[in-house]
Structure 1
Amino acid sequence: MRGAPPELNRRSFLVGSALAAGALAAGCGTGSDAGAGTFTAAFQGSGAGEGIDPGVNTLFIDEARMKSIYDGLFEVDGSMTPIPRLAESAEPNADGTRWRIALRDAAWHDGKKFTARDVLYTFSRVLGPADKRPFIAASSLDQVDLSGSRVIDDRTVEIALKRPSFEFLIALSVYGTKIVQDGAADFTRPVGTGPFVFESFEAGRQFTATANARYWDGAPSIRELRILSSEADARVNAVRGGEVDYADNLTPSAARTLEGRSDLTLTSTPGSGLYFFAMKTDRPPFDDPDVRRALMRMVDRRELVKVALEGQGEVSNDVFGKGSQYYSELPQHEYDPDEVGRLLRRAGVRDLAFDLFTAPVAYGFVEAARLFADQAAECGVRVNVVLGSKDSYYTDALETGHLTMGQSGPLPIPNHFASRLLTGSPQNRTKWSDPEFDALYATAQSTPTVEGRAAKYRRMHEILHDRGGFVFFGSTAWNTVGSSRFQQLPAAVPNSHTWARFDGVTGR
């Protein structure tokens, strides 16, 4: 990695040691005994920023661990549509202010029965006072009226809402809503209802769990799951050498080096990774909507996809969720230095200069930042690229600087709005706060028809496309590779139910 600070080099060494230890533990230089022993998966790591608290941790590697330990009431499929998990069914009343949820017959890893009380406790934890960080589902679930919600019986819970919502199932399927046990407060040794039982975790190194023989959805075939925290090159080398059985999120160039190998299964899932710039709209210069409009015309999206993303992607258009329900087709924003100049003059801005805060947390970030700085210079704007710590970047980027970068997997569009764009949203990277936008979201939730909600969401997209803080410049495929000794390896868009799930993996 070019320009990697000493801390990253040290972490790469530690990850390499973990991979080597895994190979020795598995025996004969292989990651596992197919269909019976240990299955080892490597994901992009983030050092001390990793965690195993389902209420607060949001990295892709965090989610992979959460999926093994916990279940949600609902999760989303590849089209971002909710599907039941710990819930068997859910029905609203006539005005969308109460939902009755029937629960599955499931058990916690410690043998206790899963009940409706666990659901209410989870909601109270998410909606209660934040500890060190805001709970990530707090804005999605803030419509829940805890005082009016009640346990009907062990397997039935009724959720009261403060305002009507006919899309409450989406709120129940988002990050941060996995169900925790009633009274749980210590997540250093988590107890869940999921397919694997927690054994150990060391941030930036590895996580281990063993098969839950009593799992309600069927016991996993593999006895032990290990998830390693690993840099991009280490993941490729480890899967190529047989030290791990699965590697997630490979760069296009890395994927090409593995094509044609009979011992590996390579999968590329399109439309999976959405790249963006995020303007802080609460501070100069991006508190001016004309400056934000100018930046949208300052970005040559086609060049960024061609160069920074190695041509392995599609141009985006500052509208989130292509291919998902409620996506809005709007006119493509084009690179236009003349329009940039006109908008900046209208804003009364001269000699515009700002910092772009980024880090090598995903392939192409640093290259895209530097290429964008060149594009801005052609428009008479000076962009200073500032590199942050890879291990703390996503936390730092919430508050730091004028312009930051990010990558998102697919989400239901209403969830994207609620978690990132409503006033006070915990993942509001653009610090967006717009009364019209907030009101439209609330109205959409209370609208009983899909067509009526779609009209409100389109207007929200139009507002963001015109003067929002996100610039979505490209989407990429998600590349994964696994040992051909296994079947049913996960291959799906990130954030969907089947992504990074290993309970279905079997040996050939």
Structure 2
Amino acid sequence: MRSRLSRRDLLLGSAIAAGALAAGCGTRSGAASTDTFTAAFQGSGAAESIDPGVASLFIDEARMKTVYDGLFEIDHTMAPIPRLAASSEPNADGTRWRIALRDTHWHDGKKFTSRDVLYTLARVLGPPQKSPFIAAATLAQVDLSQCRAVDDRTVEIALRTSSFEFPLALSAYGTKIVQDGATDFSKPVGTGPFVFESFEAGRQFTARVNEKYWDGAPAIHHLRLVSAGADARLSAVQSGQIDYADNLTPSAARVLRGRAGISVRSTPNSGIYFFAMKTDRPPFDNPDVRRAVMRMVDRDELVKVALEGDGEVTNDVFGEGYQYYAELPQHTYDPDEAGRLLSRAGARDLSFDLFTAPVDFGFVEAARLFADQAAKCGVRANVVIGSKDSYYADALKTGQLTMGQSGPLAIPNHFASRLLTAAPQNRTKWSDPEFDALYAKAQATPTAAARAAIYRTMHEILHDRGGFVFFGSTHWNTAAREGFRDTPAAVPNSHEWARFDEVTA
């Protein structure tokens, strides 16, 4: 951890302090108030959004959870749970789903109906926009022309192909339900536990309690989510300027453990770190080069050093511990095998850029450590440091080898959003007709056991010649001021993560 705050973190820390004090976050030293609760998340500057169709950052999702609900969410096991959907039932071949809706209202008093669901689907699947809708690939099997409102509280969703896991698709990023006709998301209206008040990208978001929330009104009257770097989050929770800090580094968690007035909680298997090889361009359009990179990554050293030992080694396929994960032979650091594969590919003098940025702890350290590991295999990896504020958008479009971190997702949603040919978050530019066909086959398979066998084959393809190197999973560390109960400590991307509607003092 750095010994001094960056200028940006100092500015953000000042903003936290000013806002927290003005909001009355603490009424007196050590006292907790339910009038205003302030939580800090890792920020991303101007890239932040409050449009639920395009927002993809952790801090974006935290805001979405306050204002909106989805038909389904996923629990900590990555299984779907109903939210705005009261119940759901497929037909015999999985091509139509009839969904009964909860009886609730929008923040502006309008009744929530099946028309809102149909409008949301049409918005996501409509003409391409400047910013692509995240769920467009996940929901691509929806046949809008055949979907219908059975009545105000019953909607029937038709699919072009069978899908017996459609509730998982309806729980993915970008599927929060928006109001029929909504086009301006600068002042969003939702059905969620808090009502929007204000938003300034890279700084803060404020909302007030929804007294008529269908799942019970929150105890917090005003919620404030602030955007801050790692050092600023640590300093602010130490000083009492905020009530909750999300995604603390291992060193920050160590500083706070045992500190009077602060509780620290750690959730394993939460942050998943990866390198992403662009498979549509040299040198990673050659599968042997990709196989070689998998053998020149010393995962144990990366977890121990770059991730400060606060995690576990992973094995280049996504979703360990969740449904459909395939246990496969562990890839290990093997310079000799890497050299053999590079010779077979005619790439013994391999050199490429590794694009990264200090968007989260360990990124730059992991990049430089991997460059050292590659050098021992006779490969030159040139570490290029990008902008922290625009990194994820830049890395999606540019570079040869990039880095990233993901929270857990249901494995079928990971495939659909990141690995199908048309996936909007396809960071490796993976395009494999066999892989796409297997995914479609799995969706049309009625039983979970049979689907698991198909997904295993897909994992085997990725484990052999895919573009991702998932090298480590980390713990998700959060801290809260004592005096608050039921502060969230859960696997990111799950329903329980970043939910503040059950927090009490």
Provide TM-score, normalisation by structure 1: 0.97
Structure 2 distance, partners of 1:2, 1:382, is 28
* Structure 2 residue corresponding to 1:347, chosen from 340, 345, 348: 345
Q: Which residue identity lines up with residue 188 of structure 1 in the other structure? A: S
1:12 to 2:9 alignment: yes
Q: Structure 2 unaligned segments of length 5 or more: list them.
A: none
Alpha-carbon distance change, 31 to 382 in structure 1, aligned in 2, over 3 angstroms: farther
Alpha-carbon distance change, 376 to 155 in structure 1, aligned in 2, over 3 angstroms: same
Q: Which residue identity lines up with residue 317 of structure 1 in the other structure? A: N
Structure 1 distance, partners of 2:377, 2:23, is 56
- Aligned partner of 1:480 in structure 2 is 478
Structure 2 distance, partners of 1:47, 1:299, is 31
The correspondence of residues 40-51 of structure 1 with structure 2, limited to 5 A, is: 40-51=38-49
Q: Which residue identity lines up with residue 24 of structure 1 in the other structure? A: L
Residue 12 of structure 1 deviates from its aligned partner by: 2.6
Alpha-carbon distance change, 321 to 334 in structure 1, aligned in 2, over 3 angstroms: same
- Aligned partner of 2:461 in structure 1 is 463
Q: Is the 8 A contact 1:289 1:467 kept in 2?
A: yes
1:182 to 2:180 alignment: yes
- Aligned partner of 1:281 in structure 2 is 279
- Aligned partner of 1:375 in structure 2 is 373
Q: Is the 8 A contact 2:20 2:38 kept in 1?
A: no
Q: Deviations over 1:158-196 (max 9, x none)?
A: 000000000001000000000000000000000000000
Residue 130 of structure 1 deviates from its aligned partner by: 2.5
Helix, strand or coil at the partner of 2:469: strand
Q: Deviations over 1:282-313 (max 9, x none)?
A: 00000000000000001000000010011111
Structure 2 distance, partners of 1:338, 1:262, is 51
Structure 2 distance, partners of 1:315, 1:205, is 34
Q: Deviations over 1:407-448 (max 9, x none)?
A: 011100000000000001000000000000000000000011
1:423 to 2:421 alignment: yes
Helix, strand or coil at the partner of 2:97: strand
* Structure 2 residue corresponding to 1:84, chosen from 82, 85, 110: 82
* Structure 2 residue corresponding to 1:243, chosen from 219, 241, 244: 241
The correspondence of residues 350-369 of structure 1 with structure 2, limited to 5 A, is: 350-369=348-367
How many aligned residue pairs are there? 504
Residue 9 of structure 1 deviates from its aligned partner by: 5.0
Helix, strand or coil at the partner of 1:173: coil
Residue 16 of structure 1 deviates from its aligned partner by: 2.0
- Aligned partner of 1:172 in structure 2 is 170
Structure 2 distance, partners of 1:115, 1:14, is 44
Residue 31 of structure 1 deviates from its aligned partner by: 9.9
1:72 to 2:77 alignment: no
Structure 2 distance, partners of 1:31, 1:110, is 37
* Structure 1 residue corresponding to 2:260, chosen from 240, 262, 268: 262
Q: Deviations over 1:127-171 (max 9, x none)?
A: 012222110000110000000000000100000000000000100
Alpha-carbon distance change, 421 to 406 in structure 1, aligned in 2, over 3 angstroms: same
Structure 1 distance, partners of 2:197, 2:338, is 55
- Aligned partner of 1:53 in structure 2 is 51
1:305 to 2:303 alignment: yes
Alpha-carbon distance change, 31 to 270 in structure 1, aligned in 2, over 3 angstroms: farther
- Aligned partner of 2:450 in structure 1 is 452
Residue 94 of structure 1 deviates from its aligned partner by: 0.3
- Aligned partner of 1:22 in structure 2 is 19
Q: Is the 8 A contact 1:30 1:244 kept in 2?
A: no
Alpha-carbon distance change, 386 to 183 in structure 1, aligned in 2, over 3 angstroms: same
Structure 2 distance, partners of 1:221, 1:33, is 16
Q: Is the 8 A contact 2:288 2:341 kept in 1?
A: yes
Provide TM-score, normalisation by structure 2: 0.98
Q: Deviations over 1:254-297 (max 9, x none)?
A: 00001112311110000001100000000000000000000000
Structure 1 distance, partners of 2:96, 2:28, is 52
Residue 111 of structure 1 deviates from its aligned partner by: 0.2
Structure 2 distance, partners of 1:177, 1:301, is 34
* Structure 2 residue corresponding to 1:272, chosen from 246, 270, 273: 270
- Aligned partner of 2:400 in structure 1 is 402
Q: Is the 8 A contact 2:9 2:231 kept in 1?
A: no
Q: Structure 1 unaligned segments of length 5 or more: list them.
A: none
478-487 or 18-27: which moved more? 18-27
Q: Which residue identity lines up with residue 152 of structure 2 in the other structure? A: D
- Aligned partner of 1:229 in structure 2 is 227
Q: What fraction of aligned residue pairs are identical, expressed as a percent?
A: 76
Alpha-carbon distance change, 294 to 246 in structure 1, aligned in 2, over 3 angstroms: same
Structure 2 distance, partners of 1:470, 1:31, is 48
1:126 to 2:124 alignment: yes
Q: Is the 8 A contact 1:440 1:456 kept in 2?
A: yes
Helix, strand or coil at the partner of 1:266: strand
Structure 1 distance, partners of 2:359, 2:185, is 26
Structure 1 distance, partners of 2:33, 2:141, is 44
Q: Is the 8 A contact 1:139 1:426 kept in 2?
A: yes
The root-mean-square deviation of aligned C-alpha atoms, in Å, is 1.6
* Structure 1 residue corresponding to 2:490, chosen from 485, 489, 492: 492
Q: Is the 8 A contact 1:116 1:153 kept in 2?
A: yes
Q: Is the 8 A contact 2:46 2:389 kept in 1?
A: yes
Structure 2 distance, partners of 1:129, 1:262, is 54
- Aligned partner of 2:158 in structure 1 is 160
Q: Which residue identity lines up with residue 400 of structure 1 in the other structure? A: T
Alpha-carbon distance change, 282 to 265 in structure 1, aligned in 2, over 3 angstroms: same
Alpha-carbon distance change, 3 to 223 in structure 1, aligned in 2, over 3 angstroms: closer
